[in-house]
Chain A
Amino acid sequence: MAVVERPPVIGPGHDFETVSKAISEIVLTRKTPLGWVFGFLMAFTFMMIFLMTATYLFLKGVGIWGINIPVAWGFAIVNFVWWIGIGHAGTLISAILLLLHQKWRMSISRFAEAMTLFAVACAGMFPLLHMGRPWLFYWMFPYPNTMTVWPQFRSPLVWDVFAVSTYATVSLVFWYVGLIPDVATLRDRAKSPFARKAFGILSLGWRGSARHWFRYETASLLLAGLATPLVVSVHTVVSFDFAVAIVPGWHTTIFPPYFVAGAIYSGFAMVLTLAIPLRAAYRLEDFVTMWHLDVMAKVMLTTGLILAYGYGCEVFYAWYSADTFERYMMWNRMFGPYAVAYWALIATNIVIPQLLWFKKVRTNVPLLFFVSLVVNTGMWLERYVIVITSLHRDFLVSSWGRYAPTVWDWATFTGTIGLFLTLFFLFIRFLPMISIVEMRTLLPQAGVKGKEAH
């Protein structure tokens, strides 16, 4: 019987010590790499732009953006959905692939989870910034009050509040639980007393006893089980924001699966976007191997095809519904004032990623990096097309209008990218970006021990 040998998911010649050293040294080194400093300052600059924009926004109101009637939702919602989508890959990689025993996920799961958290943090900003009266954001939560007023549970926005906050909480806990043994390793290897103290507190007294390991494994499994439905539910609920509305172009049942596929698509694209420079900068090619990149590219290709199917369905149903408004919406998307965005979306999300059929492309790191950036752009465009082109020409032609982002829209958007990157830079500097523990289990030695020790 021919057995298809999987290529190794870790480079040759490693043992426990080299793995621990390679990963922990990135954090524990006293010399901060110049590249990091430069990158961090860049990201921090954009984060400051974000803070300034948010300040001005709170002072003046959402009118500083380009939104209007009929396009009452603009960049804020586009960015919210985009970031939430990006946030999907982390949990998918850690939870679903954990349950499916996909060992290759181990080397990318940690920073993918971190990416998820930071993306959700960015996403979580937008509903708040987006509100007309953000200081009353807590009215969205069901809290006991003297007026006995509750949120309106029929509104998808309330579902969003629950979906996103649950997702954020579970993702955070999952990520942190996974970090505990590694933080303990750092605590043990750290030389500076401050680092020892800090990592000591964070490691929650981890001593590596069998009981600890047992509980750790159980917790991981349970959290993975909890997180798995969330991967599907969050973007399903986000898609309800649109699908529940009667706006042509939004009101469609295909949105939940198509949004989830899109989310995974964009999430993997973002993982690649982050992983490729990271493995080069920190010489992690042994841990994030070509095979990893290849697998992730394949996931992208698959989800991209699902998405293409979704786009096709939208067009088909617009025609098949025989509904004036639906048909016009589709025609307007393709040939109206925002046709450029639509065709750019088709090019970036569907046409260009077809390159991933070719192994040569999947193994060509710069080209793969380029494709991942293209997909990130494409997924952003997808949300732009859905939000703007559906709203700007709906039922009554008298209320047709247009939307153009202002400088403040762009500042908010790029500002959250700055926030995301700032957090990410801090993460790679101060926490192990690859799971040391899990990488150890990938070593041949770990396998031998498992089978033949007793």
Chain B
Amino acid sequence: MSADHTLDLASIRERLGASRGREYWRSLEELTDNKGFQEILHREFPSRASEWLDPLGRRTFLKLMGASLALAGVTACTKQPEELIVPYVTQPQEIVLGKPLYFATAMTLGGVSTGLLIKSNEGRPTKVEGNVLHPESLGSTSVYAQGSVLSLYDPDRAQSITELGQTSTWTAFVGAMQTILVNKKTTKGAGLRFLSETVGSPSLAAQFRELLQEYPAAKWHQYEQTGREPARAAARMAFGRDVDTQYRFDRADVVLSLDADFLDCGPGTLRYVRDFSARRRVTGPDSTMNRLYVAESSLTNTGSMADHRWALRPSQVAVFAAAVAAALGVKGVTVPAGLDAATQGHVAAVVKDLQQHTGKSVVIAGAQQPPAVHVLAHAMNAALGNVGTTVVYTDPVEANPVDQVESLRELVADMQAGKVDLLVIVGGNPVYTAPADVPFAAAMARVALRVHLASHFNETSAHCQWHVPETHYLEAWSDGRAYDGTISVAQPLIAPLYEGKSAHDLLAAFSSEPSRTGYQVVREYWKQQFASGAVKPASPAEAAAVQQLAGTDGESAFNLFWRKALNDGVMPNTALPPVDVTLSGAMPAIPPAASGGMEIVFRFDPTIYDGRYANNGWLQELPKPITRLTWDNAVLISPATAERLGIGARYAYQGGEHGQQLVDMAELTFEGRTLKAPVSITPGMPDNCAMVTLGYGRTRCGKVGDGTGVDANRIRTAAALWSGAGLQMKKVDGEFHLATVGAHYNMEGRGFVQVSTLDEFRKHPNFVEEAVETPAADDTLYPPDHLYTGYAWGMSIDLNACVGCNACVIACQAENNIPVVGKDQVMAGREMHWIRVDRYFEGPLDNPVVYSQPVPCQQCENAPCELVCPVGATVHSSEGLNDMVYNRCVGTRYCSNNCPYKVRRFNFLLYQDWNTASLKFVRNPDVTVRSRGVMEKCTYCVQRIQEAKIESEKQNRKVKDGEILTACQAVCPADVIVFGDINDPNSRVSKLKAQTRNYGLLADLNTRPRTTYLALLKNPNPEIAPATAVNS
């Protein structure tokens, strides 16, 4: 491009480079305040963007004309911009160009943080990995964490401080606030209100407390949809105090879930998945498995893992809970009516099973259940002797646990009463997320001055005078606690791209030291904690070194600890200790199940959560578990209910099963409010129950998310946050196009997922071999093409452990520069994910068994794709990979047709965004960015293989087993995917493939796939009729 452009880049690099002398986090901190850097970013991008985005520009017009005249000439393709590469003048010490660095940090969601390891390429965070030292992550991450890196580069982020829509400055903002605060001093802060999301950060909480000390009449409110509201209320009811409940699924033989989707959302999910699936790992006939009972009000991933599942309306789940509790001997429980006879008949067997595993079972209640059921769950765990073994109570992880709905109501009451004149909203989007019967937005109008800190100019920002752009967690200092209380310091990976400020910065602006930075706040907080002995080093050697320094130089001693904590991403031994609590008071009464009418269930969206990721293309396009829906939410109802309501669905001819469903619209009336929404008929939903996810229907989130889905918050009330009875639903005119990938439910008896039960497996360990015909390797006239004398890469996928969370899909997308194609293209059947999680239903329509099967490229040894490519763009490597040579591909798409697994993806149009400058930063420099007309697919993360091979060759050794983790493998919390060298008989993957459960997908085609699966086993209770068990 222009000379200016080159200069700018060089100066960025110089600035970044010059400040790299010391520790990385320090240099970033300095960069944070570097105005020049931000100015460069500001100046650079819009100019580029304007040139490319103007649809009617002269150049574009001429280009079109010229091309038309020349019969679209052979050159009318994607011209990639010319760019110059400028080397560092002074090479920073720790940066080797092309070699990424990794830094530990933490991401907080719902007040609970998860430790992450972020890959940084030349100063740009590009990929999120889990932190193996962190108790929840242990190396894996959630879909949200994977997607979060894209949010960092979201071009729709708010880029500057605004006052009434006019660009302003931080200095002006601080000045304005301080002026007001001068008067507030005299009134002790009366009329000053802070509203934050759930605060888990100890240092931020300390800042709030300091502020409240300074302004005693001010108030700090918290409101966020966390899904922990019933549990919080139950803890107070049962124990008279706030406690968090942690579960140890690794010790549990029997698990009863009462509407708890503990394998898909909530604090500790990653750890719970890991612990739970570890107990489903089967190596041979003598292995044991845990058993999972799930009574749930919508079909979830947890339900799909169940050995027995009951689809019950929320109020019926409560009755079920009461029935189990009563049978377990919990005193004071009366069992109301409302369960059908069949389910009632199963209670005894469940209870017997639980009682046979006292101290080794878990009863867990979910957000969709009222506090009373949570109390029953506590009582059941106590009755089963689980407390202290599989169920542990600790002090809450939240810094200041409050009843958040009540907190919001109080704030609204104060606002309506005119008691508030300065409202500071620290993060979040309460205008959008507030329950429909809490008139937050209306009440805001009575507040004289409203300030909002948020990453985007969202629905709430529109109601505020001041908007301060919030830093992304990768741009700012903070801290947080894991689900078990372990403390992580979140360090920034990059200076704020725009004029972002963190919550720490914002609160500092209201304090007496408005210039304090987030770094100072966090570091000083932990310095104090360190000095007081609240946190200390773990290892004796380290402790000794600290001890030695402490006598002479407190600062150095803390530095030693601090650096270690930053490096590790966790502070050692900071998990909250178990607390002793005793159940007090009588058991709350469970009302009889609501009869007649329908019930409604609200859930977090499995991809965009509460709407905060609505503008994240990766997450929007990530198929939701079970429904495989993208880009929208829909009301999920059972087939029987759909029939009763006369609601139907059909496949469009464009895209069909692999893209587009045309569904009917329904009108939902709940508590006097109505919502018109598309309906997705989902087997496994309880009858007369509708489930809808939150987070959609946003109006101000950005170009990606605006106008997607419907806003369930509009009918959600404070009394029925997560479920409620009295829903009216009727079909209305209209049809909606849903983008669903792979909507076909039925396996058509083709045995893609091999299933048996543990008991059957013990009797017939070779059942897979009998079911799957695998031609012998020498069953051919021709000599083998490849001998694979070196490495032979292979992958094993354990279907028994897969919970279907989709983290592999998005990790792959992040690692491999996979583009987002948008709803229209998904509907045309053109989504680009290299790995997908296939979902099959089996058994009765009202309560099917759900199977999840991750399908990446199978890397066939006899690959049908390879021999049909006319230009040799897909070729076999000596290590058994089906390599894609993107540069060679001319796009005949023959390979895709001939791929029986349909894992190849084609750039039908120009899907890569070449224009948005900020999105260039997120790309992995080790992976080719594909342009239009090119086929692409999974290559077992060949860039990671090469990296490890180069490293091993430098050290003159072979690649060690486990040294290479593919992106999907690394992220998987259930450890489902194992990759390695199958020439090495001792590698993990070889051992897994040696199991009798091992089989190749469509092996009878003699494709000889390198990716193989381990058959799925269920562990049903023989005493329960097979109606709810797996149909083996």
Contacts and interface: CB of A to CB of B under 8 A. Distances in A.
Whether chains A and B associate is: yes
B855 interface: yes
A51 B72 CA distance: 8
Interface in A383-442: 391-392, 394-404, 406
Name which of B72, B77, B934 has the most chain A CB atoms within 10 A of its CB: B72
A67 interface: yes
Contact of B900 (A60, A152, A155, A395): A395
A363 interface: no
Interface stretch (B342-350, B890-898, B967-975): B890-898
A392 to B, nearest CB: 7
Contact of A69 (B73, B894, B900, B904): B904
Interface in B982-1007: 1001-1002, 1005
B980 interface: no
A70 B864 CA distance: 15
B79 to A, nearest CB: 12
A61 to B, nearest CB: 4
B398 to A, nearest CB: 41
Given A151-B872, A157-B870, A401 B659 contact: yes
B898 A245 contact: yes
Given A61-B909, A152-B872, A396-B838, A401 B656 contact: yes
B976 to A, nearest CB: 17
B72 A157 contact: no
Interface string B146-164: 0000000000000000000
B742 A399 contact: yes
Contacts of A158: 870
Nearest to B752: A396
Question: Chain B's interface: helix, strand, loop or mixed, by majority?
Answer: loop
A56 to B, nearest CB: 8
A50 to B, nearest CB: 10
Nearest to A129: B72
Given A72-B906, A399-B902, A392 B656 contact: yes
Given A132-B892, A155-B868, A402-B658, A247 B932 contact: no
Interface stretch (A11-19, A103-111, A136-144, A351-359): A136-144
Contacts of A130: 892
A54 B67 CA distance: 10
A244 B894 CA distance: 11
Interface string A56-85: 111111111011111111000000000000
Interface string B868-904: 1111100000000000000011111110111011101
Contacts of B653: 337, 402-404
Interface residues of B, number: 71
A347 B768 CA distance: 45
A395 B830 contact: no
Contact of A61 (B872, B900, B908, B1005): B908
Contacts of A127: 892
Contacts of A324: 749-750
Q: Find the residue from B68, B75, B890, B907 having the highest chain A CB count within 10 A.
A: B890
B657 interface: yes
A194 B902 CA distance: 60
Interface in B416-442: none
Nearest to B875: A152
A137 B853 CA distance: 38
A397 B891 contact: no
A156 interface: yes
B871 A133 contact: no
Contacts of A150: 872
B71 A135 contact: no
A338 to B, nearest CB: 9
B64 interface: yes
Most buried by A among B68, B864, B868, B1005: B868
Interface centre among A58, A71, A156, A247 (most CB of B within 10 A): A58
A58 B902 contact: no
A68 B655 CA distance: 7
A396 B1002 CA distance: 9
B896 to A, nearest CB: 4
Contact of B890 (A59, A133, A244, A404): A133
A363 B746 CA distance: 54
B945 interface: no
Contacts of A1: none
B71 A55 contact: yes
Interface in B656-708: 656-659
A140 B935 CA distance: 16
A308 B746 CA distance: 34
Nearest to B838: A398
Contact of A68 (B71, B75, B659): B659
B200 interface: no
B657 A400 contact: yes
A366 interface: no
Contacts of B73: 58
A68 B908 contact: yes
A290 to B, nearest CB: 43
Nearest to B864: A246
B893 A72 contact: yes
B496 interface: no
Contacts of A225: none
Contacts of B76: 55, 58-59
A328 interface: yes
A256 to B, nearest CB: 17
B304 to A, nearest CB: 15
B651 A402 contact: yes
Given A66-B828, A132-B932, A157-B870, A149 B907 contact: no
Contacts of A152: 867, 869-872
A146 to B, nearest CB: 14
Contacts of A245: 864, 868, 894, 897-898
A449 interface: no
A324 B1004 CA distance: 11
A247 B899 CA distance: 8
A52 B897 contact: no
A328 B748 contact: yes
B744 A133 contact: no
A131 B891 contact: yes
Contacts of A404: 652-654
Interface string A292-304: 0000000000000
Nearest to B658: A401
Nearest to A136: B890
Interface in A126-181: 127, 130-137, 139-140, 149-152, 154-158, 161
Contact of B868 (A66, A137, A139, A157): A157
Interface in B735-774: 742, 744, 746-750, 752
Contacts of B75: 135
A400 B72 contact: no
A131 B867 contact: no
Interface string B617-659: 0000000000000000000000000000000000111111111
B71 A132 contact: no
B872 A395 contact: no
Contacts of B867: 152, 154-155
B679 to A, nearest CB: 21
Given A51-B71, A55-B72, A136-B890, A398 B829 contact: no
A55 B76 CA distance: 9
Interface of B: 64, 67-68, 71-77, 651-659, 742, 744, 746-750, 752, 825, 828-830, 836, 838-840, 853, 855, 864, 867-872, 888-894, 896-898, 900-902, 904-910, 932-935, 1001-1002, 1005
5 contacts: A59-B64, A72-B893, A140-B890, A152-B871, A400-B742
Given A63-B908, A70-B897, 11 more contacts: A51-B71, A68-B830, A69-B830, A69-B905, A72-B897, A152-B867, A157-B892, A328-B748, A394-B902, A401-B659, A402-B655
Q: Which 10 A-B pairs have the closest CB atoms?
A: A132-B891, A402-B656, A132-B933, A401-B658, A63-B908, A68-B829, A58-B72, A63-B909, A399-B902, A72-B893
